[in-house]
Amino acid sequence: MTYQEREVSKDHLAKLVQVLDLDEGIRIENRSYMIFVNKSAKRYCTNISRQEKEEFIYHNSPAEVLDFLKDKMDNTCKIFSY
């Protein structure tokens, strides 16, 4: 098994969150922090990592994740699927 990562556009983020599998994740690189999105069996977890501080927020649906992310992403952010 090999680790694969690919950059995706903001236009594809909604679809990516909807089809996220248990062994996959999303990383959003902003200028001053990163956001990680993962999925467990029952819910989604967003992790905001800023200067060695971690904040974990849990969501019950893809719509909740996307609503949370919309104000957290810079215009120049880069999104990666892994």
User: Would 55 be classed as within a structural domain?
Assistant: no
- Coil, helix or strand for 10? helix
Does residue 12 register a pLDDT over 70? yes
Give the rounded percent of residues in the chain with a pLDDT score beyond 90.
90
Domain that holds residue 27: 1-43
Q: Across all residues in the chain, what is the average pLDDT? A: 94
Give the rounded percent of residues in the chain with a pLDDT score beyond 70.
96
For the chain, how many structural domains are there in total?
1
Residue 56: CB atoms within 10 A of its CB come to: 11
User: Would 37 be classed as within a structural domain?
Assistant: yes
pLDDT for 54: 96
Q: Report, as an integer, the average pLDDT of 64-82.
A: 95
User: Would 68 be classed as within a structural domain?
Assistant: no
User: Would 77 be classed as within a structural domain?
Assistant: no
* pTM as predicted: 0.90
- Coil, helix or strand for 14? helix
